[in-house]
């Protein structure tokens, strides 16, 4: 059951590496913005909400205050846990540019909302363990044969009670919550981009620190790799290696992101023409600016201005 969100992406979505996704997820999950939203979302919906790093073969909602008791019991069985893990992994692989929902053997729904920085997928918001129709004894009887195969060593009455306490939401309400998560995912994508820049700014490596300082002070000017290596006081080859290791970004990637962030601020806070903003941000042409902006922000500069002012 996909959400109402339509994708305008025509270029293939890139996937962050597992290591990159895990690092960004860890930093976002501990941010004040996410913690406050997570608490409010779960309180309003009655559902768990977590950030799932890419290529994670684990149960992210395990131990969450709003975890479905029935799902929690199923995960205690090796076969049950493996079944859930496989379905979540399959769902992750197909959830690239729009929200997708999976219905499990018990009739419960789990959803993943992609978090992207531009065209790069970095993680997913995961929620669910919810029924979209009322559950009764007859529903439990239908899933009992599957439960028996999972080998759950729990009294049937206890399993049935847990199953019947599943959170039930009308489909329209659930879709509304997913739409809310899509808006929040856009904010997290922007936040992740800023976190990557902030990581570069906090480097303790002297060469990388000098380079970052120079870029921030001169982003609107032409800066070549040889020039920035000279500022850093090292060779081009050594600089490229050290800068990527320290910041997680290449020199060109960092410079582009810095310029796009400056442009985004101007687009939000001024009525200057986008063409003027492009050149003031250090881009050589409108075409180059549009390509870079869309790659980092995930939309065109004009579309960004419309959404920022709406």
Q: Contact at 8 Å (CB) between 239 and 251?
A: yes
Q: Confidence band (pLDDT; 50, 70, 90) for 156?
A: confident
Q: How far apart are CA 165 and CA 129, in angstroms?
A: 11
* Mean of pLDDT values over 65-80: 82
The half-sphere exposure of 102 on its side-chain side, counting CA atoms within 13 A, is 20
Whether the pLDDT of residue 121 is over 70: the answer is: yes
pLDDT for 123-140, tens place per residue? 999 999 999 999 999 999
pLDDT, greater one: 259 or 202: 259
Specify the pTM: 0.69
Q: How far apart are CA 193 and CA 242, in angstroms?
A: 20
Q: What is the pLDDT of residue 8?
A: 42
Q: Contact at 8 Å (CB) between 61 and 129?
A: yes
Q: What is the pLDDT of residue 9?
A: 44
- Consecutive H or E run containing 126: strand 120-130
* Mean of pLDDT values over 93-103: 83
Bridging pattern class, strands 14-15 and 120-130:
parallel
Q: How far apart are CA 197 and CA 52, in angstroms?
A: 22
Q: How far apart are CA 13 and CA 16, in angstroms?
A: 10
pLDDT, greater one: 283 or 57: 283
Please give the structure tokens belonging to residue 305. 């201005």
> Sign of the C-alpha dihedral, residues 113, 1, 306, 220?
positive
Q: How far apart are CA 110 and CA 87, in angstroms?
A: 10
* Mean of pLDDT values over 289-308: 86
- How far is C-alpha 244 from the chain's CA centre? 22
Q: What is the pLDDT of residue 10?
A: 54
Q: What is the pLDDT of residue 299?
A: 82
Q: Confidence band (pLDDT; 50, 70, 90) for 309?
A: confident
Q: What is the pLDDT of residue 11?
A: 57
Q: Contact at 8 Å (CB) between 273 and 213?
A: no
Query: 188 to each of 107, 205, 224, how far by Cα in Å?
Result: 30, 28, 31
Task: Using CA atoms of 251, 257, 262, 267 in order, give the dihedral in degrees to the nearest 10.
Answer: 150
Which stretch of 85-89, 210-214, 276-280 has the lowest confidence by average pLDDT?
A: 85-89
Please give the structure tokens belonging to residue 268. 């939000």
Percent of the chain with pLDDT over 90: 48
Q: What is the pLDDT of residue 19?
A: 86
φ and ψ at residue 99, rounded to 5 degrees: -65, 140
Q: Contact at 8 Å (CB) between 216 and 259?
A: no
Q: What is the pLDDT of residue 1?
A: 55
Q: How far apart are CA 301 and CA 291, in angstroms?
A: 10
Q: Which of 225, 227, 228, 226 shows the shortest CA–CA distance to 212?
A: 228
Mean pLDDT of the chain: 86
SS (H, E, C) 30-97: CCHHHHHHHHHHHHHHCCCEEEEECCCCCCCCCCCCCCCHHHHHHCCCHHHHHHHHHHHHHHHHHCCC
The half-sphere exposure of 91 on its side-chain side, counting CA atoms within 13 A, is 29
Bridging pattern class, strands 14-15 and 109-117:
unpaired
Whether the pLDDT of residue 229 is over 90: the answer is: yes
pLDDT for 172-211, tens place per residue? 999 999 999 999 998 888 777 777 777 667 777 899 999 9
pLDDT for 17-27, tens place per residue? 888 888 888 88
Q: Confidence band (pLDDT; 50, 70, 90) for 4?
A: very low
Whether the pLDDT of residue 116 is over 80: the answer is: yes
pLDDT, greater one: 8 or 100: 100
Beta bridge partners of 38: none
């Amino acid at each position: 059951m996909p959400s109402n969100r339509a994708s305008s992406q025509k270029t293939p979505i890139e996937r962050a590496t597992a290591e990159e996704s895990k690092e960004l997820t860890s930093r976002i999950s501990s941010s004040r913005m996410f913690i406050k939203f997570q608490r409010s979302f779960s309180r309003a919906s009655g559902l768990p909400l977590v950030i799932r790093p890419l290529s994670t073969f684990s149960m992210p909602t395990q131990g969450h205050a709003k975890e479905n008791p029935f799902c929690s019991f199923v995960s205690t069985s090796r076969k049950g846990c493996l079944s859930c893990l496989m379905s979540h992994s399959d769902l992750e692989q197909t959830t690239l540019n729009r929200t997708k929902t999976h219905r499990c053997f018990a009739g419960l729904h789990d959803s993943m909302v992609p978090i992207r920085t531009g065209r790069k997928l970095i993680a997913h918001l995961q929620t669910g363990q919810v029924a979209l129709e009322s559950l009764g004894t007859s529903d439990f009887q239908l899933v009992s044969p599957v439960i028996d195969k999972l080998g759950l060593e729990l009294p049937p009455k206890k399993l049935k009670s847990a199953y019947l306490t599943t959170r039930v939401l009308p489909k329209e309400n659930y879709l509304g919550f997913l739409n809310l998560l899509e808006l929040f995912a856009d904010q997290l994508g922007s936040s992740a981009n800023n976190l990557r820049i902030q990581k570069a700014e906090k480097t303790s490596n002297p060469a990388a620190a000098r380079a970052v300082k120079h870029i921030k002070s001169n982003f609107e000017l032409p800066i070549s790799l040889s020039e920035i290596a000279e500022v850093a006081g090292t060779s081009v080859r050594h600089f490229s290696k050290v800068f990527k290791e320290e910041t997680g970004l290449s020199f060109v990637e960092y410079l582009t992101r810095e310029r796009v962030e400056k442009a985004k601020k101007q687009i939000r806070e001024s009525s200057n023409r986008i063409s003027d903003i492009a050149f003031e941000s250090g881009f050589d042409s409108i075409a180059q600016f549009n390509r870079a902006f869309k790659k980092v922000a995930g939309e065109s500069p004009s579309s960004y201005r419309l959404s920022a002012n709406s």
